Structure 1
Amino acid sequence: MDLTSLARTLLDLHHTGRTLVLPNVWDAWSARAVAEADFPALSIGSHPLADSRGQGDKEDMSLDDALDGVRRICGAVPDVPVTADLEAGYGVAPAELVERMLEAGAVGLNVEDTVHSEGGRMRSVAEHADYIGGLRQAADGAGVDVVINARTDVFLRKAEFEDPVAEAITRLKACEDAGARCVYPVGVPDVETLRTLLDELSGPVNVIANPRIGSVVGPLEELQAMGVHRVTFGPKLQQELAADLKALVSHWRA
């Protein structure tokens, strides 16, 4: 499929009435394995991708490094829509980020509000929304309905805010207004907070889960019942597989 069709498929998958699960992959092998398990779309996690390259998360990779991984993964599953975690944008303008992401074959992206290239400072509400808006404008200009997943790190940095829930809602509403197709309040601390976010936000909400033990809410069935639109695993899938790998080979140790 072409990029326009892949992007439309990915967007439509967010609005089926069922929870879309996007396992986070990190190389061509893991992408093919997940696609062969009949998942209709995939996500590339920055953390597992960096680990697979022997590099660190939080933009320790360069954008060239990250897009090299994205290109290899998209090339391995050409008929499957892929969304990529591109951290805070690697210090490049939105138009360049969208152009280069599309060239690599991805039709969705995560962008967070912690700017790793600038000492880990957090973008203001307006600054992050403006960046999301720039991404939307560039994607629309390219004729591809890129699924922008706007992430906020408020719950990871909750000590910095008097009311983290209100702050997250303000930030994510601004991102929705700017053109995000999904929002990602990473680190939601409890079920009640998630319910509040789902009530207050108008579009799809992404929740992180551990594929072995579920999410802060529980297993997929409970997320589905709450109306969660999208689930990703972040680095958890790769980390859980590492334990299995160790167990598999340990009894062969001389």
Structure 2
Amino acid sequence: MTTSVAALATRLLDLHHTGSTLVLPNVWDAWSAKVVAEAGFGALSIGSHPLADSRGQGDNEDMSLDDALDGVRRICSAVPEVPVTADMEAGYGATPQELVERLLEAGAAGLNIEDTVHSEGGRMRSAAEHADYIGAIRQAADAAGVDLVVNARTDVFLKKDQFADPVGEAATRLRACEEAGARCVYPVGVPDAAALQALLDALSGPVNVIANPRTGSAAGSLEDLQVMGVHRVTFGPKLMQELAPDLTALVTPWR
């Protein structure tokens, strides 16, 4: 860990508290990171799905921790003045201490951690287990003297019909993560504006919403999200996916 990584983490944390919506486009390699940074974005996110696709591997912890960190290191090295947060899935089986140490060594200023453990048959961590893991990550970062932006994700809305009250379950899980030290929380797949507003009302810190760069989010456009007070927007794999038709159209005439 270097002083510059600590400074980048503090800058990323500050960007969550400016009163405006922070948009972190998801990049997958050094080239995409440079392009997005040069477009004027002050911070970036690495999605596990597009990173895995760029490596010819699968999402859902098909990559090893070494694989994921190799991608993170290459991206962070390509944009050394830009804070980068990385999707680390459910932690790749690493202890919080190892995860934080190695992530900081790779140059990342933040991370996503989800509550679906794909390496263990896709089981879902309990609310308490997930909060404990998030809390241990925060403690390891604090011990290193870094304002690492821990973004706690819940997959409640992706588990169709598993919960009688998905909004209530997501709120319970994310509140527990906030109390454990998460600096941002992420209800991936929130279905509509009403559900998102209920979560914003129930939570005290920044909330991350996924959006499609062409079509917006399930809760509305960027302007809609700004009015609601959403703190952070990411694209997940959708930026890479939306580029595919453009690439096809560009090369097809040369077939």
Question: Residues of 2 paired with 1:4 and 1:104: CA distance?
Answer: 12
SS of residue paired to 2:63: coil
Question: Residues of 2 paired with 1:244 and 1:74: CA distance?
Answer: 27
Residue pair 1:6, 1:79 contacting (<8 A) in 2 also? yes
SS of residue paired to 1:159: coil
Residue 203 of structure 1: aligned partner: 205
After superposition, the CA RMSD in angstroms is 0.7
Question: Residues of 2 paired with 1:91 and 1:117: CA distance?
Answer: 8
What is the TM-score normalised by the length of structure 1?
Answer: 0.99
Question: Residues of 2 paired with 1:248 and 1:223: CA distance?
Answer: 33
Question: Residues of 2 paired with 1:222 and 1:15: CA distance?
Answer: 18
Residue 214 of structure 2: aligned partner: 212
Cα deviation for residue 237 of structure 1 reads 0.2
Letter aligned with residue 106 of structure 2: A
Residue pair 1:211, 1:237 contacting (<8 A) in 2 also? yes
Letter aligned with residue 98 of structure 2: E
Cα deviation for residue 219 of structure 1 reads 1.5
Residue 136 of structure 1: aligned partner: 138
Query: Of 29, 44, 52, which aligns to 1:27?
Result: 29
Letter aligned with residue 89 of structure 2: E
Residue pair 1:109, 1:147 contacting (<8 A) in 2 also? yes
Query: Of 2, 5, 8, which aligns to 1:6?
Result: 8
The runs of at least 4 aligned residues of structure 1 exceeding 2 Å deviation read none
Residue 89 of structure 1: aligned partner: 91
Residue pair 2:47, 2:237 contacting (<8 A) in 1 also? yes
The 5 A counterparts of 1:147-226 are 147-226=149-228
Letter aligned with residue 90 of structure 1: Y
Determine whether 1:72 maps to 2:74.
yes
Residue 148 of structure 2: aligned partner: 146
Cα deviation for residue 87 of structure 1 reads 0.1
Residue 233 of structure 1: aligned partner: 235
Residue pair 2:42, 2:82 contacting (<8 A) in 1 also? yes
SS of residue paired to 1:96: helix
Residue 53 of structure 1: aligned partner: 55
Residue 116 of structure 2: aligned partner: 114
Once the two structures are superposed, residues 194-224 of structure 1 have per-residue CA deviations (whole angstroms, 9 ceiling, x without a partner) of: 0000011000000000001111122211110
Letter aligned with residue 229 of structure 1: H
What is the TM-score normalised by the length of structure 2?
Answer: 0.98
SS of residue paired to 1:151: strand
Cα deviation for residue 158 of structure 1 reads 3.6
Question: Residues of 1 paired with 2:194 and 2:77: CA distance?
Answer: 41
SS of residue paired to 1:79: coil
Question: Residues of 2 paired with 1:92 and 1:217: CA distance?
Answer: 34
SS of residue paired to 2:161: helix
Question: Residues of 2 paired with 1:218 and 1:184: CA distance?
Answer: 16
Letter aligned with residue 61 of structure 2: E
Residue pair 1:158, 1:164 contacting (<8 A) in 2 also? no
How many residue pairs get aligned? The number is 253
Question: Residues of 1 paired with 2:72 and 2:5: CA distance?
Answer: 14
Question: Residues of 1 paired with 2:172 and 2:118: CA distance?
Answer: 22
Cα deviation for residue 242 of structure 1 reads 1.1
Question: Residues of 2 paired with 1:96 and 1:105: CA distance?
Answer: 14
Once the two structures are superposed, residues 94-144 of structure 1 have per-residue CA deviations (whole angstroms, 9 ceiling, x without a partner) of: 010000000000010000000011000000010000000000000000000
Question: Residues of 2 paired with 1:251 and 1:61: CA distance?
Answer: 35
Letter aligned with residue 102 of structure 2: R
List runs of 5+ in structure 1 lacking aligned partners.
Answer: none
